[in-house]
Structure 1
């Protein structure tokens, strides 16, 4: 990889932060020690969460991201990664668990920019522009007893996300949270 390509990736790929760490820890602590389990991480960015799950559990992990730079970076980290919009290309009933740290920052449309980092960060006006379509579709790719680990910010509205998940047939329980001066991050476990 050239230096120019490396710089492009660094500016176009979401790098791990507190939210990534919280999701990885919550998923790793709760996934069963079963090598037959198949886990999908949606929106992998750098591949940090998928890499942690693969390193700390016996499950097989597949990661996806819409951003081609993220796919390249995650693959470079040894993560099995495909370019995908949410769960679109995956077969019904495939995954025992899905982990997702979605773009959740509420963003005024007047202040949006059009690049890959916006796609990684901006959740639209209410912070749920990507979460809602994810919730509409994730149930299709889950195995019968499958679960979802979804990171949500207080800026997005945890109660609103739980209500929306309920509309899609999921029950929700908070399994981890961490507070910061400007927001609280919560990992929700969704199940049917």
Structure 2
């Protein structure tokens, strides 16, 4: 039987793009060597590997896709197969990084494959962001931080409001504009 991953040449795993690079650079500037960091939805492992190389910190990846887990491991990232934050213990991390699936997608236009899960944020782009924000404080140490990539396509202010409702507040620490969207990295801390 041919492996679907090999058949598509890795096309079922989200590969680094402008959003990944913006998150990795912004987080690396703010994180240090002694921090324990989780990269949620690690995909290819690019953000985790970049932050680990830049800071010397211990960065662990997590992804629901078995194909992404395999690719991140091949990149040298220690990674766990996980649905968002489910398997992680309370207060385990100094920082959490997340480049979520954020593209608004009509449910009737979605495909049922790993790449779609890596891209689709549901009708408003926040299908995965909202449950992440509702649970992320649990796994943070008291002075922990969240570095979350958000897009103007998902309404950055709505994302910030959901974060506030979940007991997190912060600021935009990096941004980049494109003809079709504005990407920002939010650094959020418990309030």
For the 8 Å contact 1:45–1:71, the answer to whether it is kept is yes
For the 8 Å contact 2:147–2:188, the answer to whether it is kept is yes
Alignment of 1:26-175 (within 5 A): 26-32=26-32, 34-35=33-34, 37-175=35-173
What SS does structure 1 have at the residue aligned with 2:16?
Answer: coil
For the 8 Å contact 1:87–1:138, the answer to whether it is kept is yes
Per the TM alignment, residue 64 of structure 1 is displaced from its structure 2 partner at its CA by: 0.3
Q: Distance in 1 between matches of 2:106 and 2:4?
A: 31
TM-score by length of 2: 0.96
Equivalent in the alignment of 2:18:
18
What SS does structure 2 have at the residue aligned with 1:123?
Answer: coil
For the 8 Å contact 1:172–1:191, the answer to whether it is kept is yes
Per the TM alignment, residue 110 of structure 1 is displaced from its structure 2 partner at its CA by: 1.2
Q: Distance in 2 between matches of 1:26 and 1:140?
A: 23
For the 8 Å contact 1:9–1:69, the answer to whether it is kept is no
Q: Distance in 1 between matches of 2:3 and 2:102?
A: 31
What SS does structure 1 have at the residue aligned with 2:42?
Answer: coil
Structure 2 unaligned blocks of 5 or more: none
Q: Distance in 2 between matches of 1:96 and 1:113?
A: 35
Per the TM alignment, residue 6 of structure 1 is displaced from its structure 2 partner at its CA by: 3.3
Q: Distance in 1 between matches of 2:141 and 2:11?
A: 36
For the 8 Å contact 1:9–1:70, the answer to whether it is kept is no
Q: Distance in 2 between matches of 1:38 and 1:157?
A: 30
TM-score by length of 1: 0.95
Per the TM alignment, residue 185 of structure 1 is displaced from its structure 2 partner at its CA by: 0.2
What SS does structure 2 have at the residue aligned with 1:114?
Answer: coil
Per the TM alignment, residue 4 of structure 1 is displaced from its structure 2 partner at its CA by: 6.7
Question: Residue 115 and residue 95 in structure 1: after superposition, are their counterparts in 2 closer, same or farther (change >3 A)?
Answer: same
Structure 1 unaligned blocks of 5 or more: none
CA RMSD of aligned residues (A): 1.3
Moved over 3 A (4+): 2-9
Per the TM alignment, residue 3 of structure 1 is displaced from its structure 2 partner at its CA by: 8.5
Q: Distance in 2 between matches of 1:110 and 1:171?
A: 34
Q: What is the total number of aligned residue pairs between the two structures?
A: 189
Per the TM alignment, residue 139 of structure 1 is displaced from its structure 2 partner at its CA by: 0.5
